[in-house]
Amino acid sequence: MALNKSMHPRNRYKDKPPDFAYLASKYPDFQQHVHTSLTGRPVVNFKEPEAVRALTCTLLKEDFGLTIEIPLERLIPTVPLRLNYIHWVEDLIDGQKQPRRGIDIGTGASCIYPLLGATMNGWFFLATEVDDICFDYAKKNVEQNKLSDLVKVVKVPQKTLLMDALKEETEIIYDFCMCNPPFFANQLEAKGVNSRNSRRPPPSSVNTGGVTEIMAEGGELEFVKRIIHDSLQLKKRLRWYSCMLGKKCSLAPLKEELRKQGVPKVTHTEFCQGRTMRWALAWSFYDDVTVPSPPSKKRKLEKAQKPLSFTLPEAGVKELQAKASAAGCSSSSCSSVDSITALLEKTLTELRVLHKRVPCRQQEQSLFLTAVENTWIHGRQKRREQTRQLRELPRAPPCAGTSIQTSTVTAAPVSTENQGNDKSQDADLKGKSVSSKESSTETETSAEGQEEKEALENAGGEDVDMDSSVCAEPRQEADVKTLAAESTGDTGRPQTPGGVEHFLFKCLLNVIPEGNDVGVEMHWVEGQNKDLMNQLRTYLRNTLLKSVGKV
């Protein structure tokens, strides 16, 4: 059984899925539905109604001591998913192991919610049902488990929800109601023709259930709206109203309906089991109730993402160690991880990727990276463009004195006075040229010295600046300076990688030993596009492998 790690924390199946092999050895009725897969694992075919029913009955017997009967032509509930709903209601009413009074609208043949609530917490239930077959089975299941003093099953007319069910019990205040409404409006929707996205895989389990259990006029949306309208009349007769939803798209319009009606307390949650997702909505008219927080919108980000990685084999690692030692990046006594990290830092500096070492486990190295611009793709094209621009730079004009002297030789004879003036002008121009050239040289030398000074200053700290010995195109160089200025504080020093406001992405790079090999992992933190991180990973890997070939 595929179970999702985001099930309710108290769900007993969250960390301990059912052991099919053990259950098959203990329950013969279940054993006939357990098969061995090609990998040798015991499996159950969830597309067989008999197998699903056998599993539900077996789990209820094994884990809750409940014995039930369910006809194949009626809805067969899955225990872990129904258990999620029970635990959430416990959170709503603070009813764990506490006596509470609730209503189950449309209890079904299994009567599973009242049976679980009564067995686990001693709750009193009023269970309503409109279908004759479901009513008979529900009553029988309550009686054979000796829970008639806690669970009362009542037959109600069609389309009866809360109002008619509570006509005779006007003095009782219920703590909650729960409902698993009919999800679909018609047969086509039930078969997934209109409601299921074509890109989704087909259902992994069979869809059982009678007409009244799976279909209602207007589907679940209209069904739950009717419960909302009943609640507007009953108000504080129930502390909490709740419903399960089969479609996420129903959640927003129902919350909007509650908002329009001025309902003060509203919350929702998610129920997960394998590939099956359900949603639940709850509302209250009481001011003193505690409202559980809905699931975070960033829940998916909490799921562990596989890092992008590559491995350097032992032979290549030894060559890279020698290269790092020869280049002065690390000493000969350094470990392979330290040497690879030093080479990676050198490459990242050349790429103008901000990086900083962060604490990590022993024998490993971790770098926190902040990429401000994409400098790792189209490198060859950029170098060619730089070379072309260097060739097209305007050359310095020839010396003015030489020009005048040449024209003097070829020109007609002039007087001595004119020659003296020409010599004087020639000397002045020559002096200006030399002065201009010296001034230019001094400016270039000063700029180079300033760059070297800044590089030495930055090398003394933990953070690595974006400056690089690799030339950049004029426009790119201006962009880099702009970004660097934006990420620089009052002191003129660049911020830490985590403090830059404008960036492409941030990631954590880990260098870890893998036996005699060395692995490099890149874990996504945040940013615009994960493809950029993948491109950087490819660039770093190729750079290291090329270095091995050159050693």
Q: How far is CA 327 from CA 192, 330, 332, 543, in A?
A: 64, 8, 11, 15
Cβ contact 7:85 at 8 Å? no
Over the stretch 131-166, which tens digit does the pLDDT of each residue have? 899 999 999 999 999 999 999 999 988 777 788 778
Query: Which residues are part of a known binding site?
Result: 82, 106, 129, 180
| Average pLDDT of the chain, as a whole number | 76
Confidence of residue 63 (pLDDT cuts 50, 70, 90): very high
Cβ contact 343:351 at 8 Å? no
User: Please, what's the b/e burial string for 502-517 (b: 16 or more CB within 10 A of its CB; e: otherwise)?
Assistant: ebbbbbbbbbbeeeee
Residue with tokens 């997934």: 192
Per-residue pLDDT at 39: 83
- 52-56, 391-395, 530-534: least confident range: 391-395
Q: How far is CA 122 from CA 98, 115, 174, 294, in A?
A: 7, 10, 14, 27
Cβ contact 518:340 at 8 Å? yes
Write down the pTM of the prediction. Answer: 0.54
Is the pLDDT assigned to residue 444 strictly greater than 70? no
Output phi, psi for 309, to 5 deg.
-150, 165
| Interatomic CA distance for residues 151 and 103, integer angstroms | 10
* Pairing relationship of beta strands 101-105 and 124-129 according to DSSP bridges: parallel
Give one word for 106, left, alpha or beta, with left for phi > 0 and alpha for psi -120 to 50.
left
List, in sequence order, the alpha helices (H) in 358-473: 379-391, 400-410, 416-459
Mean pLDDT (whole number) for 462-487 = 39
Confidence of residue 301 (pLDDT cuts 50, 70, 90): very low
Q: How far is CA 3 from CA 10, 56, 242, 306, in A?
A: 14, 15, 24, 20
* Pairing relationship of beta strands 265-273 and 517-527 according to DSSP bridges: unpaired
DSSP category for residue 488: B
Answer with the residue of higher pLDDT: 191 or 470.
Answer: 191
Is the pLDDT assigned to residue 256 strictly greater than 90? yes
Per-residue pLDDT at 395: 58
Q: How deeply is 259 buried, as exposed, middle or buried, from its count of CB atoms within 10 A (0-12, 13-18, 19+)?
A: exposed
DSSP category for residue 334: S
| Interatomic CA distance for residues 104 and 306, integer angstroms | 42
Per-residue pLDDT at 400: 47
User: Please, what's the b/e burial string for 278-296 (b: 16 or more CB within 10 A of its CB; e: otherwise)?
Assistant: bbbbbbbbeeebeeeebee
Torsional sign, CA 304, 309, 314, 319 = negative
Over the stretch 348-387, which tens digit does the pLDDT of each residue have? 999 999 999 999 888 899 999 999 999 888 766 777 777 7
Per-residue pLDDT at 335: 87
Query: Which residues are part of a known binding site for S-adenosyl-L-methionine?
Result: 82, 106, 129, 180
At a CB cut-off of 8 Å and minimum separation 6, what does 75 contact?
Answer: 108, 109, 110, 208, 209, 210, 213, 214
What's the one-letter identity of residue 251? L
Over the stretch 113-122, which tens digit does the pLDDT of each residue have? 999 999 999 9
Token pair, residue 12, equals 């007993």
Answer with the residue of higher pLDDT: 336 or 476.
Answer: 336
3-state secondary structure of 242: strand
Mean pLDDT (whole number) for 538-548 = 88
Task: Walk me through the domains of the chain, giving residue ranges and CATH numbers.
Answer: 20-302 (3.40.50.150), 308-378+466-550 (no CATH)
Token pair, residue 379, equals 């490198």
